[in-house]
Chains A and B, each alone.
Chain A
């Protein structure tokens, strides 16, 4: 650098592209980013601490609000942890319903990513398509759980109430619609030369680097590592379904984008299999409303739409947990951002940030 001074640029905390409240400090030399520093904590609500003063059943509502786009997946993580420590067997039907809803939730979450990513790239149209598709899922959720987002539906030992009578009919409609929608979304920008030029080769990270940073989920799979907790450390009943793990090659923004599009197709496969073999029976094991798990600790990993969502739960035998630690995928994925931004153009910073699909509620908890 011939005596030039680096320019420091503040992105956020109220920047429209930061997907929440998030501040990114970037030092640039000309157009190139030479250093970056994420600042988090603007959305910190102390959820983990609040968990220590709430009953187990009440904590489910807090998990809803951590990853507020993949609510059901977060609920599931906590309920699995509690069930494991209490050694409760969840009825088959509840397991199937959980899987169906979680996968629908994954599609909804990826749809949101798809739309917002279009916005990040400067395309206004995709979000309108994505939201139209997502709305179908939200409506179905509303008819099943009673809420569009904060469901509080997955409960310790099962689920809140059985599926409504017209579920079979509606799910078929929704799946049909989604299949068409995903193809349409794919056709809309995935082959667009301008989109490709902006995302291919941008913000690459190698598989080994990604693992070192603790990156999980679609962001890791985009770098060519076929690691999906649903398969590699299967929980619930995911081992009964036949689906692929889409992987990318270069770990660039395009791969991260396309892995998610592919994942939506895989999720549809899972839902179809689950709906076909949905058994009859109970929807909840008999657990008390106020549970008092025995002393001990458990660690449960699940695959949320953003990656490895793990819950570490310590019980001291009372009706409130002693400690709830959440390993949030967004938080870990965010750490790789510095590496991805290194040497990229300033104009691509928003795209790279968007491609990790951060949910700030989960990063800050």
Chain B
């Protein structure tokens, strides 16, 4: 009996102590009261924007499309109108769609892309007003990507290879960038 009371009071003491603690929860919809996201947070994939040239990094090579475990993406490429004078990329993405509702945020598309063209953004909300709004198309993916680039001060991991500016020397041009490449093995 005594032991029971001691055990019970011990538990109550823990409860009492935490009554004076700071709350650890945050309020959700208001953005300034939310918890912070970590830098590495993986939200939805988004396409990065090459500000030097004024086009996306993505060449539409479809490696990510093939490697996505849920087959939630589709991409089409076209000849790049800016090539070769303004851009080094021969091909450029024409249309891109990711079904965000189907994406499992695994990050495999980012791993396989050899053009630094896709990144896991910090976007993570799925509630939309239209039925189809979670099928993100090229403009919305790019705007998600640009927000992300701005937020974290993004730089390409492999700037020499993926720099889109046309090179001056002969032969340096189109060193593979923009070609449909096979999956790196």
**A residues at B contact (CB < 8 Å):** 54-55, 57-58, 61-62, 125, 129, 132, 135, 139, 142-147, 150, 152, 160-161, 164, 184, 187-189, 191-194, 196, 288-290
Contact = CB atoms under 8 A, between A and B. Distances in A.
B104 A150 contact: yes
Q: Most B CB atoms within 10 A — which of A142, A184, A196?
A: A142
B179 to A, nearest CB: 18
B10 A187 contact: yes
B85 interface: no
A181 B5 CA distance: 23
A149 to B, nearest CB: 10
A125 to B, nearest CB: 6
A152 B108 contact: yes
A146 B108 contact: no
- 9 closest Cβ pairs, A-B complex: A193-B4, A191-B7, A146-B42, A58-B69, A143-B38, A146-B40, A142-B38, A152-B106, A61-B106
B185 interface: yes
A89 to B, nearest CB: 20
A57 B38 contact: no
A31 B170 CA distance: 88
A135 B69 contact: no
Contacts of B165: none
Contacts of A125: 15
21 contacts: A57-B108, A58-B69, A58-B108, A125-B15, A142-B38, A142-B41, A147-B42, A150-B104, A152-B107, A152-B108, A160-B107, A164-B40, A187-B10, A191-B7, A192-B11, A193-B3, A196-B7, A288-B184, A288-B185, A289-B183, A290-B183
Given A152-B108, A188-B11, A290 B69 contact: no
Interface in B5-29: 5-8, 10-11, 13-15, 18, 24
B144 interface: no
How many interface residues does chain B have, given as a range?
Answer: 20 to 34
A132 B7 contact: no
A301 B5 CA distance: 45
Given A61-B69, A290-B183, A146 B107 contact: yes
Main secondary structure on A side of the interface with B: helix
Given A61-B106, A143-B40, A288-B185, A55 B7 contact: no
A150 B40 contact: no
Contact of B11 (A58, A62, A142, A191): A191
A7 to B, nearest CB: 34
Contacts of B108: 57-58, 61, 152
B111 A289 contact: yes
Nearest to B70: A61
B125 interface: no
A57 B110 CA distance: 13
B152 interface: no
A189 B13 CA distance: 11
A150 B105 contact: yes
Interface string B20-52: 000010000000000001111110000000000
B85 to A, nearest CB: 34
B67 interface: yes
B53 interface: no
B40 A144 contact: yes
Given A55-B67, A132-B24, A288-B185, A150 B106 contact: yes
Contacts of A289: 111-112, 183-185
B7 A188 contact: no
Interface string B46-80: 00000000000000000000010100000000000
Interface string B107-123: 11001100000001000
A147 B14 contact: no
A143 B40 CA distance: 6
Nearest to A190: B7
Given A146-B107, A147-B41, A193-B7, 13 more contacts: A61-B108, A125-B15, A132-B24, A139-B38, A143-B40, A164-B40, A187-B11, A187-B14, A188-B11, A188-B14, A191-B7, A193-B8, A196-B7
